Amino acid sequence: MEDLFAAPRSENELPEFSVSEISFEIKRFIETAFSRVRVKGEIFGAKRADSGHWYLTLKDDNAALSAVIWRGTAAKLTIKPEDGLEVIATGKITTFAGKSSYQLVIESMEVAGAGALLKLLEERKKAFAAEGLFDASHKKALPFLPETIGVVTSASGAVIRDIIHRVRDRFPSHILLIPTPVQGEGAAEKIAQAIKDFNRLDEISDYPKPDVLIVARGGGSLEDLWPFNEECVIRAVYNSEIPVISAVGHETDTMLIDYAADKRAPTPTGAAEFAVPVKTELQTSINNLEARLKNGMLRYFTEKQNVLSGLARGIPNLMQILQEASQKFDDRIERLNQAVKNFLRDKARQIELCGLKPFYIHNVIDKKQESLSHLQLRLSSVSIEAVLKRGFAWVKDGGGQTVYSSVAAHQAKTLEIRFADGCFKVGNEQPPIQIKKIKKKECPDDDEKQISLFDF
């Protein structure tokens, strides 16, 4: 194929090319001319595809360049692509014939300068603080004497050995380690997952949940420590039910995890010192407290004994008080015995007198009999038989109810009239009569009123 970039010919002499041929020549030319380049720019629109590849754009004030990071390369990067981060990307320029576009295939990437990372760090710090992820009110107190300590760090290196040795020297405790990478691609996600796993360790394993967590790594550059500034790690620490001690980098290094943790240690060794007290110091403190307690109790009982001795001097002779009370008791017993004897003697005398005068009892019986006879006579005089014998009659209707008026007598169908010597029934066929009401002034004199049946 003729070179497309040869000297121009006349219009009639220009050769024809297919689209594929043109695309291939452009691709060959660009990849040859830009097979290895370093591009400085600010990341914009970074996103990770399900395949694991990263797609982003590098831009400056005047232009933008599409870029891609293949999955294998992304796993080796020391920093995670993030919008707003200024980087220097090394790779090659290639074309994408399907869209007539070109892009940078990134093979390595580094931060353009510490200032860019510090700027991003400050922006994240303000955003997380505004959300309340660093609030002091949310921080939990560390346990005084944890039985189990969980550690999130690399399984190799000096960090885990320093923590183990320091805990063993101060107060031996159980240590559980979930080994995680502490730098590079995917480190932040694995650190966050380890914190979550520790919080549900009793659910997913036979191990007990730790009483405190230590998230630690040794010193390094800001890029090396960057996983501890990632959002997933900060939120995992914030949501942890177990108190978290952060020990990342040297004492002068301050990562965002330090603000979210319940306690920040300057070094991993310092984290172990925060986690457990010194056993010998505790024993000394307990011995001192025990001695103070014994001395205090001794002084207390000595003072109480002195007070009791002083009070005892004011108490009279108890034996004398008991003897006086015993003497009074004997006197009361003697008087009681004498009173019982006098009472029995009086009652015996009364019984004797009653035996000498039997007519006294008969007299009482005669009086009671006379009173009873009198009451019987009064009761007999007011009985129905006695009233009927005086000339009165008892009138009842067919239902056996007493008839008290002439109106009731005319209304009854049958009447039963009882006299002293017998009774008989009569039918009542008389028509109802009009009863003339007697006015008050027509009432007969008291002499003409009917005598009460119960007058006698």
Alpha-carbon gap, residue 287 to 276, rounded angstroms: 19
**Which numeric CATH code is attached to 11-112?**
2.40.50.140
Q: What is the pLDDT of residue 357?
A: 63
Q: What is the pLDDT of residue 398?
A: 82
How far is Cα of residue 191 from the mean position of the Cα atoms in its chain? 32
Whether pLDDT at 179 is above 90? yes
Q: What is the pLDDT of residue 12?
A: 65
Q: What's the whole-number mean pLDDT along residues 147-173? A: 92
Per-residue pLDDT band for 76 (boundaries 50, 70, 90) equals: confident
Minimum mean pLDDT among 90-104, 127-141, 338-352, 355-369: which range?
355-369
Q: What is the pLDDT of residue 404?
A: 86
User: Within 10 Å of residue 64's Cβ, how many Cβ atoms?
Assistant: 13
Judge contact between 200 and 231, C-beta under 8 A.
no
Q: What is the pLDDT of residue 139?
A: 94
CATH number 3.40.50.300 is the correct assignment for the domain at 145-277: no
Q: What is the pLDDT of residue 6?
A: 56
Per-residue pLDDT of 13-29, as tens digits, reads: 777 888 888 888 888 88
Helix locations, 357-404, DSSP H: 359-381, 384-389
Region of 282 (left: φ > 0; alpha: ψ -120 to 50; beta: rest) is alpha
Whether pLDDT at 273 is above 50? yes
DSSP for residue 402: B
DSSP secondary structure letters along 86-137: EEEEEEEEEEEGGGTEEEEEEEEEEES-HHHHHHHHHHHHHHHHHHTTT-GG
Per-residue pLDDT band for 98 (boundaries 50, 70, 90) equals: confident
**394: β partners:** 418
Q: What is the pLDDT of residue 233?
A: 95
Q: Label the pairing between strands 212-217 and 394-397.
A: unpaired
Q: Which is it for the CA torsion 254, 259, 261, 266, positive or negative?
A: positive
Q: What is the pLDDT of residue 448?
A: 43
- Mean pLDDT, the chain, whole residue set: 84
Per-residue pLDDT band for 438 (boundaries 50, 70, 90) equals: very low
Whether pLDDT at 295 is above 60? yes
| Percent of the chain at pLDDT exceeding 70 | 89
Lookup: tokens for 10:
């006349």
Q: What is the pLDDT of residue 4?
A: 56
Residues recorded for the chain: 456
Per-residue pLDDT of 403-436, as tens digits, reads: 888 888 888 888 888 888 888 888 765 554 444 4
Judge contact between 262 and 243, C-beta under 8 A.
yes
DSSP secondary structure letters along 212-232: EEEEEE----TTTTGGGGSHH
DSSP secondary structure letters along 423-436: EEEEE--PPPPPPP
Q: What's the whole-number mean pLDDT along residues 124-131? A: 93
Per residue in 383-409, is it b (16+ CB within 10 Å) or e — as a string?
eeeebbeeeeebbbbeeeeebeeeeee
Judge contact between 104 and 37, C-beta under 8 A.
yes
Element (H, E) at 245: strand 244-248
Angle at 115 between CA 112 and CA 116, to 5 degrees: 55
What does residue 49 show for φ and ψ, rounded to 5 degrees?
Answer: -80, 165
Q: What is the pLDDT of residue 59?
A: 92
What 3-state class would DSSP assign to 185? coil
Per-residue pLDDT of 202-220, as tens digits, reads: 888 888 899 999 999 988 8
Higher pLDDT: 348 or 116? It is: 348
Q: What is the pLDDT of residue 66?
A: 92
Tokens 């005047």 sit at which residue?
A: 62
Whether pLDDT at 196 is above 90? yes
| Percent of the chain at pLDDT exceeding 90 | 39
Lookup: tokens for 399:
């239902």
Q: Cα dist. 149→187, 201, 437 in Å?
A: 21, 12, 115
Whether pLDDT at 314 is above 80? no
**151: β partners:** 177, 214
Q: What is the pLDDT of residue 455?
A: 43
Q: What is the pLDDT of residue 389?
A: 83
Q: What is the chain's Cα-based Rg?
A: 61
Domain boundaries, the chain: 11-112, 145-277, 393-442
Per-residue pLDDT band for 157 (boundaries 50, 70, 90) equals: confident
Whether pLDDT at 331 is above 60? yes
Per-residue pLDDT of 351-401, as tens digits, reads: 777 665 667 677 778 888 888 888 888 887 778 888 888 888 888 888 888
What 3-state class would DSSP assign to 199? helix
Q: Label the pairing between strands 64-69 and 101-111.
A: parallel
Angle at 148 between CA 145 and CA 152, to 5 degrees: 120
CATH fold match for the domains 11-112 and 145-277: no
Q: What is the pLDDT of residue 10?
A: 60
